């Protein structure tokens, strides 16, 4: 059994670098409970379906294990704090992260100090739901989408969805940020970008959007970052079942 190696513990991310990990959420709570905090175990116990419980637990164990590599903090000692709309962050330190899952895959994005958001959606085989687009997208986005050919629409729908979601996740405000109040690009061949916000004429220039779908087979995925320049790299984790074996637990500082 091998422990996944993602770099030396405590490795500092270069400024402007965003490292994204694509991982499978296969596994079970019992394989990872020694890594999780009491509140995470409580939350796991509240899931109605075992599959959702296991995916949450494995996701948190992966997040902790990856964060250990960036912070040098033993994974079971890492403490999270939560923003007013539930965005998790590290209680201490400058590493920032965001997580997204879709079915049994997850994306974990990390940076040094940048405001980042990530979203992944499994690409559907069904046609675009016009009602959903009309309800969730801005008028410009819906107009652009419905001007595309039917073949282009389902991909463009998910490009728009993931870019909008990555942006609201980077800001951490969840759906308290009205989805009609900002526009992103979505048409094929047009670079990912935030093009308008209703609250500021200058804010779009503060943000970069990246489409990382090519690195996420069968999915559409996006990263948003508040920065003038950033480099995104995506890595894929292999099987993680082997990475969770118990080791001697660290003595964590009292919180
Ligand atoms: C909660 C929300 C932030 C993301 O939800 P989601 O798309 O269902 O889920 P994702 O898998 O992408 O992200 C969930 C993860 O985001 C993180 N998260 C939770 N609240 C967050 C917030 N306010 N901001 C950023 N990240 C947040 C958590 O790590 C969470 O994982 P966890 O539950 O394992 O801790 C929010 O944007 C939401 O409710 N979206 C609903 C979907 C929607 O209508 N989208 C419209 C797009 S056009």
Taking the centre of ligand 1 as the mean of its atom positions, its distance from the CA of residue 84, in whole angstroms, is 13
Taking the centre of ligand 1 as the mean of its atom positions, its distance from the CA of residue 251, in whole angstroms, is 32
Task: For residue range 57-104, list pLDDT tens digits in order.
Answer: 999 999 999 999 999 999 999 999 999 999 999 999 999 999 999 999
Which run of H or E residues covers position 231?
strand 231-236
Nearest CA to ligand 1 atom 22: 87
Q: Provide residues with CB under 6 Å of ligand 1.
A: 56, 59, 85-88, 98-101, 117, 119, 136, 161, 164-165, 168-169, 172, 174-175, 179
> In order of start, what are the domains of the chain with their CATH numbers?
119-234 (3.90.470.20)
Provide the pLDDT for residue 251. 74
Closest ligand 1 atom to residue 171 Cα is 24
Q: Are 221 and 213 in contact (CB under 8 A)?
A: yes
CA-wise closest residue to 163 among 136, 143, 139: 136
**Rg, C-alpha atoms of the chain:** 19
Contacts of 240 (CB under 8 A, 6+ apart): 4, 23, 24, 26, 27, 58, 62
Q: How confident is the model at residue 253 (pLDDT cuts 50, 70, 90)?
A: confident
Q: How many CA atoms lie within 13 A of 238 on its CB side?
A: 8
Task: For residue range 1-53, list pLDDT tens digits in order.
Answer: 233 445 456 678 999 999 999 999 999 999 999 999 999 999 999 999 999 99
DSSP 250: P
More confident residue, 243 or 253: 253
Q: How confident is the model at residue 207 (pLDDT cuts 50, 70, 90)?
A: very high
Provide the pLDDT for residue 241. 53
Q: How confident is the model at residue 252 (pLDDT cuts 50, 70, 90)?
A: confident
């Amino acid at each position: 059994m091998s422990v996944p190696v993602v770099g030396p513990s405590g490795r500092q991310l270069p400024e402007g670098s965003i490292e994204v990990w694509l991982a499978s959420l296969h596994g079970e709570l019992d394989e990872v409970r020694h890594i999780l905090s009491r509140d995470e175990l409580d939350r796991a116990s509240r899931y109605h379906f075992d599959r959702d419980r296991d995916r949450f637990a494995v996701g948190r164990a992966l997040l902790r294990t990856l964060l250990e590599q960036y912070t040098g903090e033993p994974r079971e000692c890492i403490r999270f704090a939560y923003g007013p709309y539930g965005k998790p962050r590290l209680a201490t330190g400058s590493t920032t992260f965001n997580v997204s899952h879709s079915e049994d895959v997850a994306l974990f994005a990390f940076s040094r100090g940048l405001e980042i958001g990530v979203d992944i959606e499994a690409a559907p085989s069904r046609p675009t739901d016009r009602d959903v687009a009309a309800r969730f997208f801005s008028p410009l986005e819906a107009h652009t989408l419905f001007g595309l050919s039917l073949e282009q629409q389902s991909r463009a729908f998910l490009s728009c969805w993931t870019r909008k979601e990555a942006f609201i996740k980077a800001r951490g405000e969840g759906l308290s940020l009205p989805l009609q109040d900002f526009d992103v690009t979505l048409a094929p061949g047009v670079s990912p970008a935030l093009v308008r916000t209703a609250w500021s004429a200058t804010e779009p220039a503060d943000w970069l959007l990246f489409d990382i779908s090519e690195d996420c087979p069968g999915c559409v995925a996006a990263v948003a970052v508040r920065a003038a320049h950033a480099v995104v790299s995506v890595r894929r984790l292999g099987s993680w079942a082997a990475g969770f074996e118990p080791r001697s637990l660290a003595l964590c500082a009292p919180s």
